[in-house]
Structure 1
Amino acid sequence: MSVDALLFDKDGTLFLFEATWESWAHAVLMRLTDGDLDRARMIGDDIGFDVDSKRFQPTSVIIACTPTEIVSQLRRHVAYSAEALETLLNEEAAVVPQVEAVSLAPFLTQLRQRGLKIGVATNDAEYPARAHLDAAGVTGLFDFISGYDSGHGAKPAPGPCLAFATATGVAPDRVAMVGDSLHDLHAGRAAGMKTIAVLTGIAQADELAPFADIVLDDISHIPAWLDSEEG
């Protein structure tokens, strides 16, 4: 078997990106502006989010950056300390409804039954990440969960990927990093891992393909890909 472990991104991979984070961005902007729609539109334009249509631009800072980086951009518009603003973002993130890309519990159980180690490496904070996985009832199925604040760094640096390999005792070249963004794929490649791109985020197939061993519509196609690798 050429793959012994799978490391998943969270947003846009395990959960549909647009269906969840568009609601979060709108809620954050309305909270920061006390419901002032004109101010919310102005800040939204700066961070790549259309408040009226509730849609992200492909280059939005929200898509792949960490909360710390998002805070830096938002602080140009609001009188919050960095700590208070990051707390607000994480509070809203922890309660935003998540839409699973596939039914996660049976899918992840199937992977574990194959003897695979599985983990999550997200650029979200670890606390809301665990809240999302708890809500889906799948936290206990993972061998490793890392947020940008877990001490391993953030993607596209390879730190979270290498930490997963160390934690599970699986050589990086026997791991596949699964994600919907270039940050995910660059991190996996930098760690010496295989890379699987999925199309449940914002990025398109032609953008991801040069950095992926395979591009799949969603994570449900991974078992068939594993079978082909074994063959």
Structure 2
Amino acid sequence: MTAAPQRRAAAVLFDKDGTLFDFTRTWSAWALGVMDHLAQGDGLLVAAMARELRFDLDSRSFWKDSPVIAGTSREAAECLARGLGGRDAAALESFLSEAAARAPVVEAVPLAPLLDRLRGAGLRLGVMTNDNEAVAYAHLGQVGVADRFDFVAGFDSGHGAKPSPEPLLAFAAALDLSPAQVVMVGDSTHDLMAGRAAGMMTVGVLTGPAGAEELRPLADAVLPDIGHLPDWLRIVAT
């Protein structure tokens, strides 16, 4: 059994994609649809965009080293622009944001009861994603949990992007907490690197492309999904 945290947590900061939402079930089919739309029937352009995104067309999934996994929507737009032969990345980023906000997200676990259990234990909750803030709110609203969070930030919220610790420190400051009182939960090394640099407790989850062997060196615990977080925090069910 994974050891409980040695410090008492006062707050949990979640990554979004791959953590709150299952990465592959949410984004693989969506990415293929976006590439098909942009290519307008040109299979060579689909293949070129897939190479830039590090997306395997045969398995319909992202390679573990894809810049999309932990990157920003701006980075994804730049990849697509290269695959399209130098299209305007800014216009593509705007298109991606609009399309992503409509993506049918798949919860990693039923979120509302889990978040209510954490809040019922007195924990403050936040989301920090390398997606943009508007898309984050759209996805949280889509599954009816936006009101469970005290803080939601994207790479464009003015605090920077992971693996920088700055957006994580902004969460702690907004809640008037020491970083040592916060648990950063994420599915990528970017998430956990940011958490470690911020002086937070770190928990990796396996609902994104990264495996346990990649996350374990940076994590206080690696869990199958966020549904196991209350047990790790020793929160008693009510």
TM-score normalised to structure 2 length:
0.92
Question: What is the SS of the residue equivalent to 1:120?
Answer: strand
Deviations 1:114-165 (A, max 9, x none): 1100000000011111110001100000000001111110000011100100
Q: What amino acid is the match of 2:204? A: A
Deviation at 1:72, TM superposition (A): 2.1
The residue number in structure 2 matching 1:145 is 152
Of 125, 146, 164, which residue of structure 2 is paired with 1:118? 125
Deviations 1:28-68 (A, max 9, x none): 21121113223202220222112343111111111111111
Q: Determine if the alignment matches structure 1 residue 44 to structure 2 residue 50.
A: yes
Q: What amino acid is the match of 1:26? A: L
Give, in whole Å, the separation in 1 of the partners of 2:12 and 2:144.
Answer: 19
Q: Determine if the alignment matches structure 1 residue 160 to structure 2 residue 186.
A: no
Per mean C-alpha deviation after superposition, the further-off stretch among 202-211 and 46-55 is 46-55
The residue number in structure 2 matching 1:71 is 77
Deviations 1:41-100 (A, max 9, x none): 222022211234311111111111111122222222335322211011111111111110
The residue number in structure 1 matching 2:18 is 12
Question: What is the SS of the residue equivalent to 1:76?
Answer: helix
Give, in whole Å, the separation in 1 of the partners of 2:56 and 2:99.
Answer: 18
Q: Identity over aligned residues, as a percent?
A: 53
Of 166, 178, 181, which residue of structure 2 is paired with 1:171? 178
Q: Do the aligned partners of 1:23 and 1:96 also contact (CA within 8 Å) in 2?
A: no
Q: Do the aligned partners of 1:41 and 1:50 also contact (CA within 8 Å) in 2?
A: no
Of 195, 207, 215, which residue of structure 1 is paired with 2:202? 195
The residue number in structure 2 matching 1:131 is 138
Q: What amino acid is the match of 2:73? A: P
Q: What amino acid is the match of 2:106? A: V
Runs of 4+ in 1 over 6 A off after TM superposition: none
Give, in whole Å, the separation in 2 of the partners of 1:73 and 1:16.
Answer: 22
Deviation at 1:23, TM superposition (A): 1.7
Q: Determine if the alignment matches structure 1 residue 221 to structure 2 residue 219.
A: no
Give, in whole Å, the separation in 2 of the partners of 1:141 and 1:60.
Answer: 31
Per mean C-alpha deviation after superposition, the further-off stretch among 209-218 and 47-56 is 47-56
Q: What amino acid is the match of 2:44? A: D
Q: Which runs of 5+ in 1 are unaligned?
A: none
Instruction: Flag the 1:129–1:66 CA change in 2: closer, same or farther, 3 A.
Output: same
Root mean square deviation of aligned Cα:
1.3
Q: Do the aligned partners of 1:200 and 1:218 also contact (CA within 8 Å) in 2?
A: yes
Q: Which runs of 5+ in 2 are unaligned?
A: 1-6
Q: What amino acid is the match of 2:200? A: M
Per mean C-alpha deviation after superposition, the further-off stretch among 45-54 and 183-192 is 45-54
Of 195, 207, 210, which residue of structure 1 is paired with 2:217? 210
Q: What amino acid is the match of 1:94? A: A
